[in-house]
Structure 1
Amino acid sequence: MSIVKKILIADDEPDILEIIQYNLQAEGFEVTTAKNGNEAIEKAKRTLPDLIILDIMMPGKTGMEVCNLLRQQPAFKNTLIIFLTALSDESTEVKGLESGADDYLTKPISPKVLVSKVNALFRRFSNDTPKVLKVGDLEIDREKYMINFKGTDIVLARKEFELLSLLAGKPGKVFLRNEILNTIWGTEVIVGDRTIDVHIRKIRQKLDLDCISTVKGVGYKFEV
Structure 2
Amino acid sequence: MPDPSTPRLRVLVVDDEAKLTELLQLELDVEGYDVDIACDGSSGLVKARSEPSPDLIVLDWNLPDFSGVDICQRIRRSGVTIPILMLTGHDDIADRVMALDAGVDDYLIKPFSIEELMARLRAMQRRAQTFSGGSQGRETVVLTMSDLRIDTSTRDVTRGDRPIQLSVKEYDLLLFLMRADGKVLERAEIMRGVWGDNFYGDDNLLDVYIRYLRQKIEAPELPVLIHTVRGVGFILRDASSQET
Alignment TM-score, normalising by the size of structure 1: 0.65
Gaps of 5+ in 1: none
Out of 233, 239, 242, the residue aligned to residue 219 of structure 1 is 233
Matched residues in 1 for 2:205 and 2:65: separation?
Answer: 38
1:53 alignment partner in structure 2: 58
CA contact (8 A) 1:147 1:156 kept: no
Q: Number of residue pairs matched?
A: 217
1:138 alignment partner in structure 2: 149
1:176 alignment partner in structure 2: 186
1:12 partnered with 2:32: no
Letter in 1 for 2:186: L
- Measured after TM superposition, the shift of residue 12 of structure 1 is 1.0
Out of 64, 68, 79, the residue aligned to residue 77 of structure 1 is 79
Matched residues in 2 for 1:210 and 1:27: separation?
Answer: 49
SS at match of 2:21: helix
8 and 211 in structure 1: CA distance in 2 versus 1, 3 angstrom threshold: same
Percent identity between the aligned chains?
26
Matched residues in 1 for 2:71 and 2:230: separation?
Answer: 46
- Measured after TM superposition, the shift of residue 126 of structure 1 is 1.1
- Measured after TM superposition, the shift of residue 11 of structure 1 is 0.8
Deviation string 1:37-67 (CA, Å, 9 cap, x unpaired) is 3442454426421333322432355546655
Matched residues in 1 for 2:56 and 2:39: separation?
Answer: 17
Letter in 2 for 1:31: V
RMSD: 4.4
2:121 alignment partner in structure 1: 115
1:205 partnered with 2:215: yes
124 and 165 in structure 1: CA distance in 2 versus 1, 3 angstrom threshold: farther
2:241 alignment partner in structure 1: none
CA contact (8 A) 1:83 1:103 kept: yes
CA contact (8 A) 1:23 1:111 kept: no
SS at match of 2:132: coil
Matched residues in 2 for 1:22 and 1:142: separation?
Answer: 40
Matched residues in 2 for 1:176 and 1:187: separation?
Answer: 14
80 and 102 in structure 1: CA distance in 2 versus 1, 3 angstrom threshold: farther
Gaps of 5+ in 2: 239-244
CA contact (8 A) 1:214 1:220 kept: yes
54 and 193 in structure 1: CA distance in 2 versus 1, 3 angstrom threshold: closer
60 and 192 in structure 1: CA distance in 2 versus 1, 3 angstrom threshold: closer
Deviation string 1:123-157 (CA, Å, 9 cap, x unpaired) is 4641423698632233266997x754344223458
Greater C-alpha Rg: 2
- Measured after TM superposition, the shift of residue 82 of structure 1 is 2.5
CA contact (8 A) 1:93 1:104 kept: no
Matched residues in 2 for 1:95 and 1:188: separation?
Answer: 15
